[in-house]
């Protein structure tokens, strides 16, 4: 069971750009064997639920352990490299966080029984309504200024309609497609959604927009009891590695330089920049080019040096905040259109950027940097904050998994849960950002889907509801 993580760690250490101590390699190994063991247990038990803990634990390895071997070692805000003991302490913090996250997810709290939650009605009107919503979401995504169509107060609602809503319906239609029960129009919408996300992401400079649907596809396969699509997972990973190298150049030209261009020109520019860098690294005579490319790719997915910087400055330079950065969570449920001057959830990021010397105050409007909920816990309460915040996040994720990803969650909650999972894999988000939009997203989608929502089958005579208990239990219209 431990052999693959051990071999992976030895390989990374052998080809590392840095001298990695035995203690650091051991911590990296532990950060890898935890998600690997969790995955093997999930696979052995043949569960239909998404292995959420294994995925999030694996992302901790990506954000903290992988940069140990190929990421940068310079501390943010200056050329100085992080001392070895500081890197070791940071890895230990990540390992402690993963352990507490697991404890939180194992704490069984059930706010409501999944089988009692509402679901979608199986009727021609429901399918027509869902198709119209998905098509509308696809079309709106091509309107670059649509996020501000209703002003700053309506921005969050428009973004939900652009992203989470069509992603939820996409997951629903894809599940029908995998079961062989999707009519031609639904199959066309599935491919139209995927194509639109690729085009919008590549033309706007947002890599996450390109990758997000691919992750949802993998999650749907798992939820439907299919083997993990290794080829699809490799394709998603390959897209991330390939496009990551050209992203900075794209943003420098079309974001920083304010250069105008058509959709095709922007896509061509990003692909050509990425291809040029990879070609130079692979075929170039300078071995340093490959190392620089690996450094650029891994560093963009790294929290190692940022977290080390926080541990170095707290509390000697920056005192503990004792919950100050969490203040936005108390008011996050209030819509901005009801409180136009509501403080922004970016204030926690801005505090971190300014106090830890990353960004000048007059540049906060153009730069946003987050350090992750785990390190934010240390900013507020030290090591006790790491333990408490990681446990709280695990507790919340456990409730989410049992409610939205369980075998009895139904197609509505199940599809919505699958659409939301990729957001929880972004560990660079600080706690308020990690959870603040969740209630708003779920609430707005429920309001939009209310016309086609019903209680479970048997509760309302004459209404056949879609139940997600399993393939044999699901009533889907074949039309």
- DSSP-assigned letters across all residues of 241-270: HHHHHHHHHHHIIIIIS-----HHHHHHHH
Q: What is the chain's Cα-based Rg?
A: 23
β-pairing verdict for 119-120 and 453-454: antiparallel
Total residues found in the chain within this entry: 479
Closest to 31 in 3D by CA, of 58, 1, 52 = 58
Tell me if the pTM is above 0.75. yes
- Does residue 479 lie within any of the structural domains? no
Q: Which residue has the tokens 């600080």?
A: 430
For residue 304, being part of any structural domain is answered with yes
Contact present, 118 and 453 (Cβ < 8 Å): yes
**Intervals of the chain under pLDDT 50:** 458-479
Residue among 423, 477, 475 nearest 119 (CA): 475
pLDDT at 238: 84
Would you say residue 424 lies in a domain? yes
Q: Which residues contact 445 (CB under 8 A, 6 or more apart)?
A: 160, 164, 165, 168, 416
Asked if residue 26 is part of any domain, the answer here is yes
Report CA-CA distances (Å) from 372 to 135, 237, 356, 422, 432: 34, 22, 14, 15, 10
DSSP class per residue in 187-208: HHHHHHHHHHHHHHHHHHT-HH
Tell me the β-bridge partners of 119.
454
**According to the model, what pLDDT value does residue 148 have?**
55
Beta bridge partners of residue 84, listed in sequence order:
none
Burial of 159 (0-12, 13-18, 19+ CB in 10 A): middle
Residue 316 covered by a domain: yes
Over residues 251-280, the pLDDT tens digits come to: 888 877 777 888 888 889 999 888 888 887
Instruction: State the Cα–Cα distance between residues 407 and 471, nearest whole angstrom.
Output: 11
In a domain, 478, yes or no: no
DSSP output for 163-178: THHHHHHHHHHHHHHH
Give the residue among 54, 102, 100, 109 at the shortest CA–CA distance from 378.
100
Which domain covers residue 274, as residue numbers? 3-473
User: Which pLDDT belongs to residue 134?
Assistant: 92
Three-state SS across 338-386? CCCCCCCCCHHHHHHHHHCCCCCHHHCCCCCCCCCHHHHHHHHHCHHHH
User: How many domains does the chain divide into?
Assistant: 1
Q: Residue 24, exposed/middle/buried by CB under 10 A (0-12, 13-18, 19+)?
A: buried
Task: Tell whether 114 is covered by a domain.
Answer: yes
């Amino acid at each position: 069971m431990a052999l693959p993580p051990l071999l992976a760690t030895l390989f990374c250490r052998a080809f590392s750009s840095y001298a990695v101590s035995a203690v650091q390699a051991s911590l990296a190994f532990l950060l890898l064997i935890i998600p690997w063991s969790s995955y093997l247990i999930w696979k052995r038990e043949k569960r239909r639920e998404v292995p959420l803990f294994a995925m999030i634990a694996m992302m901790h390895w990506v954000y903290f352990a992988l940069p140990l071997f190929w990421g940068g070692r310079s501390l943010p805000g200056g050329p100085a490299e992080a001392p070895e003991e500081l890197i070791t302490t940071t890895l230990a913090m990540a390992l402690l966080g993963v352990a507490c996250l697991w404890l939180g997810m194992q704490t069984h709290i059930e706010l409501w029984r999944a089988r009692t939650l509402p679901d979608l009605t199986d009727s021609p009107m429901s399918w027509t309504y869902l198709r119209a919503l998905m098509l509308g979401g696809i079309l709106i995504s091509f309107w670059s200024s649509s996020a501000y169509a209703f002003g700053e107060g309506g921005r969050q609602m428009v973004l939900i309609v652009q992203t989470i809503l069509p992603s939820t319906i996409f997951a629903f239609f894809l599940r029908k497609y995998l079961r062989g029960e999707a009519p031609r129009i639904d199959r066309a919408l599935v491919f139209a959604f995927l194509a639109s996300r690729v085009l919008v992401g590549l033309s706007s400079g947002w890599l996450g927009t390109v990758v997000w649907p691919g992750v949802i596809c993998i999650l749907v396969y798992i939820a439907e009891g299919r083997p993990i699509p290794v080829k699809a997972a490799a394709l998603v990973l390959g897209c991330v590695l390939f496009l990551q190298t050209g992203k900075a150049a794209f943003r420098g030209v079309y974001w920083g330089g304010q250069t105008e261009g058509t959709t095709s020109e922007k896509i061509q520019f990003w692909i050509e920049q990425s291809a040029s860098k990879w070609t130079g690294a692979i075929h170039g005579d300078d071995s340093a080019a490959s190392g620089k490319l690996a450094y650029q790719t891994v560093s963009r997915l790294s929290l190692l040096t940022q977290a080390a910087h926080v541990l170095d400055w707290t509390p000697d330079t920056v005192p503990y905040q004792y919950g100050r950065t969490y203040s936005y969570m108390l008011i996050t449920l209030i819509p901005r259109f009801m409180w136009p001057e509501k403080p922004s959830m970016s204030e926690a990021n801005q505090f971190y950027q300014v106090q830890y010397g990353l960004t000048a105050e007059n540049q906060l409007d153009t730069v946003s940097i987050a350090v992750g909920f785990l390190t934010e816990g240390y900013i507020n309460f030290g090591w006790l904050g790491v333990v408490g915040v990681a446990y709280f996040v695990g507790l919340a994720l456990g409730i989410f998994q049992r409610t939205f990803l369980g075998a009895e969650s139904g197609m509505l909650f199940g599809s919505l849960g699958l659409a939301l999972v990729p957001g929880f894999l972004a560990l660079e988000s600080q706690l308020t950002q990690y959870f603040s939009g969740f209630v708003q997203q779920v609430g707005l989608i429920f309001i939009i889907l209310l016309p086609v929502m019903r209680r479970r089958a048997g509760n309302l005579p004459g209404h056949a509801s879609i139940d997600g208990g399993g393939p044999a239990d699901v009533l889907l219209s074949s039309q």
